[in-house]
Amino acid sequence: MAPTSRDENQKRLDIHNSSIPVICRSCEARHRGICGALTSEQLTQVSRHTTRQQVAANSEFVSTGDDVKHYSNVLAGVVKLTRLMADGRQQIVGLQFAPDFIGRPFRDTSEVSAEAATNVKLCSFPKSVMDEMIAKSPDLERRLYKQALDQLDDAREWILALGRKSAAEKVASFLLMIAENVDPEKLDRDAPICFELPLKRADIADFLGLTIETVSRQITSLRKAGIIVVEHNRTVTVPDLERLRAHGEMDTG
Amino acid sequence: MAPTSRDENQKRLDIHNSSIPVICRSCEARHRGICGALTSEQLTQVSRHTTRQQVAANSEFVSTGDDVKHYSNVLAGVVKLTRLMADGRQQIVGLQFAPDFIGRPFRDTSEVSAEAATNVKLCSFPKSVMDEMIAKSPDLERRLYKQALDQLDDAREWILALGRKSAAEKVASFLLMIAENVDPEKLDRDAPICFELPLKRADIADFLGLTIETVSRQITSLRKAGIIVVEHNRTVTVPDLERLRAHGEMDTG
DNA sequence: CGCTCAATTGAACAATGTCAAGTTGTGTGG
DNA sequence: CCACACAACTTGACATTGTTCAATTGAGCG
């Protein structure tokens, strides 16, 4: 979900410390994710049990009701957390980007399923090892707590959108969320914002509580109004962010 | 939340240890809420700054954007957390019952407003004192973390409802949620479940992302189908929980 | 009794979903 | 490079759901 202010004192000096495990040294999430709260000893300990994995787009790697034995960090790509109803209706209840942590401490079975929306790189480690470490490291727990609070804020933001926004506003808000998540590096000042949609229409629909057709129509209408430019169905350019914002964020606060 | 061995210890201590602050001794939330994680010294320290307050139904005690200086525990009643859009559309993004904790650690302004849905009793303490205590007490932080995770689970449950359930299913699910929250004490085995709705129609509508009229129609329809009995608009009896469940929880998992 | 706020009900209407074609995009084997 | 197949996306006509507006009934209270 939309990362809020997540990273504070994450910069720690491992430049001088060669005891950082090899697998972690070049990790994209090394400082930004929860690992930033670990000492090099802890990092070494976790890394002994760590596995990197690639998950192909659209494959589910945790199912509702599963016994979960591992936590993961998202290193790249986008993960959908979904809930399914008996008759097949589906709803995305959370989106996780790098360097988010996936897992539910203090509970062994998953209430949601996790599925790769794009190709995803994960760093996984056994729940047992991590749980022990969480119990011993208040810093680590605090970081997890902060992430949970951010996710709660995000969830509430989407509760407002799902409950009260029109289809047009939902789609605009979604595009805005993605736009605001674009790598600051890729942001060319004064150039229009441009990005690849990480979700296909069906996923956007599942996220917004709409149908594919409605999503498509709303995107078309934003396109015809000149608020966005779409190429190859997935590449979106926003000439004027404020104009997009005006369509989705009639929000107070 | 299941009582841990810590609770037991604390309970035993209470009996022999007269250092428990007077204000806390008869507190309904003393053991169940976050205070259960505090030592008697910490409890004494907090209690020095603690104020009890009553909030009348329908009055707002935190507004969106407010600088929040206090945390609170809900001792009795129901609190609505709401978000408001510029044009007046409103959505309830969370409901808090005793002994829930109200507040947002690591952030000074509130993204939501808090309003009493019923008459409410609160126990409030300064953010600064509590923040310090949280920093020093991993047990306390863990309890808050657990509550945040539970609230996140709840929020996701409602995201599914808001995004994918019909009006009829939403209302049934809401009634079910309230029914399942009824004091276990009041549960007479083999007698039908009966409770007072803590929310008026307008609040239920704001919670479910519907209009007052739709909520009213759905309640009428459940009533005519014999699934619920309604007296004085607020008193609801559910003769057969499973039958109600079948109308709202076509849920997997 | 006569307020007032809360809740219900009805009828017309708008927004979104459903169903059924089409079209575009992409990868694959010839 | 083309032809084909398949998936993702778009578009239109129509059905359904939920909203809006307006009127009415019910409940609590001085």
Of B181, B222, B169, B91, nearest in space to A85 by CA: B169
- Give the span between the Cα atoms of B170 and A89, in whole angstroms: 14
Q: Which residue has the tokens 């014999």?
A: B226
Residue A117: other Cβ atoms inside 10 A: 22
Tokens read off for A47 = 């890394």
Using an 8 Å Cβ cutoff, are B251 and A84 in contact?
A: no
| Dihedral sign of CA atoms B109, A243, A208, A160 in order | positive
Strand order of the β-sheet with B60-62 is B60-62, B113-116, B78-84, B90-97
Strand order in the sheet with A229-231: A193-196, A235-238, A229-231
Measure B160 CA to D22 C1' (Å). Answer: 34
Nearest to A93 among B91, B160, B208 (CB): B160
N- to C-terminal Cα distance for chain A? 19
- B187: tokens are 């549960």
* pLDDT level of residue A8 (50, 70, 90 thresholds): very low
**Residue A65: its chain B contacts at CB < 8 A?**
253
Give the pLDDT confidence of A159-218 residue by residue, as tens digits. 999 999 999 999 999 999 999 887 777 776 778 899 999 999 999 999 999 999 999 999
A106 CB neighbour count, 10 Å cutoff:
12
DSSP notation for A107-138:
-SB-SSEEEESS-EEEEEEEHHHHHHHHHH-H
Q: Is the pLDDT of residue A251 over 60?
A: no
**Domain A165-248 belongs to what topology?**
Arc Repressor Mutant, subunit A (1.10.10)
The dihedral region occupied by A140, where left means phi > 0, alpha psi between -120 and 50, and beta the remainder, is alpha
User: Which of B34, B108, B134, B160 to probe by mutation at the A interface, max A CB count within 10 Å?
Assistant: B160
What's the CA gap between A36 and A126, in Å, rounded?
Answer: 18
| pLDDT tens over chain B, length 253 residues | 444 444 444 444 555 556 788 888 888 788 888 999 888 888 898 899 999 999 999 999 999 999 999 999 999 999 999 999 999 999 999 999 999 999 999 999 999 999 999 999 999 999 999 999 999 999 999 999 999 999 999 999 999 999 999 999 999 999 999 998 877 777 766 788 999 999 999 999 999 999 999 999 999 999 999 999 999 999 999 999 999 999 987 555 4
Give the count of beta carbons closer than 10 Å to the beta carbon of residue B2.
4
Task: Show the CA angle centred on residue B155, arms to residues B152 and B157, nearest 5°.
Answer: 110
The reported pLDDT for the residue numbered A31 is 87
Provide the positions of strand C that have an atom within 7 A of a protein CB.
Answer: 6-11, 15-20, 25-26
* Contact across the interface for B85 and A252, Cβ inside 8 Å: yes
**CATH number given to A22-160:** 2.60.120.10
Specify the pTM: 0.91
Report d(CA B91, CA B39) in Å as an integer.
Answer: 38
Q: State, as a whole number of angstroms, the distance between the CA of B230 and the C1' of D26.
A: 13
Q: Who among residues 162-181 of B has its Cβ near strand D, under 7 Å?
A: 166-168
Give the architecture (CATH level 2) of B5-155.
Sandwich (2.60)
A218, A168 contact by CB (below 8 A): yes
d(CA A15, CA A17): 6
Chain D bases near protein Cβ (<7 Å): 8-13, 17-22, 27-28
Rg (CA), chain A: 19
Is B106 in contact with A138 (Cβ distance < 8 A)? no
Which of B1, B66, B89, B109 has the most A C-beta neighbours within 10 Å, making it the best mutation to test the interface with A? B89
Q: How many angstroms separate the CA atoms of B230 and B195, rounded?
A: 10
Q: Are residues A152 and B152, on separate chains, in Cβ contact within 8 Å? A: yes
| Residue B192, pLDDT score | 87
Q: Which residues pair with B97 in a beta bridge?
A: B78
Q: How far is the CA of A119 from the C1' of D6 (A)?
A: 20
Query: What is the residue type of B242?
Result: E
Return the pLDDT at A249.
72
CB B175, CB B236: distance < 8 Å: yes
Alpha-carbon span A197 to A191, nearest angstrom: 18
| A57 in Cβ contact with A98 (< 8 Å) | no
Helical packing angle, A201-208 and A167-181, nearest 10° = 110
Q: Which of A25-34, A149-158, B106-115, B236-245 has the lowest mean pLDDT?
A: A25-34
Closest CA of chain B from A89, distance in Å: 7
What is the arithmetic mean of pLDDT over A21-31?
85
Does A160 sit within 8 Å of B155, measured CB to CB? no
What Cα–Cα distance (Å) separates residue B226 from each residue in A193, B176, B223, B240, B243?
56, 15, 5, 10, 10
Closest CA–CA distance from residue B138 to any residue of chain A (Å): 6
Identify from A1, A91, A102, A160 which residue to disrupt to test chain B contact, counting B C-beta atoms within 10 A and taking the largest count. Answer: A160
Q: How far is the CA of A88 from the C1' of D5 (A)?
A: 27
Q: Where are the alpha helices (DSSP H) in A113-240?
A: 127-136, 138-164, 167-181, 201-208, 212-224
Domain positions in chain A? 22-160, 165-248
Instruction: Say which DSSP state B88 is in.
Output: S
Identity of the residue in A91, A151, A157 whose CB atom sits nearest the CB atom of B164: A91
The nucleotide closest to B165 (CA, C1' atoms): D17
pLDDT greater than 90 at residue A16:
no
Q: Which residues of B touch A91 (CB under 8 A)?
A: 159-160, 163-164
**pLDDT score, position B155:** 98
Write the residue in A84, A162, A253 that is nearest to B159 by C-beta.
A162
Tell me how far CA of residue B49 lies from CA of B43, B72, B251, in angstroms.
Answer: 10, 12, 45
Judged by CB atoms closer than 8 Å, whether chains meet at A253 and B156 is answered as no
Residue appearing with tokens 């309640």: B219
Size of interface A-B (CB pairs under 8 A): 132
Retrieve residue A236's tokens. 């979106």
b (16+ CB within 10 A) / e for B183-199: eeeeeeeeeebbbebbb
Q: Residue A9: helix, strand or coil by DSSP? A: coil
Burial state string for A164-189 with b = 16 or more CB within 10 A and e = fewer than 16: bbebbbbbbbbbbbbbebeeeeeeee
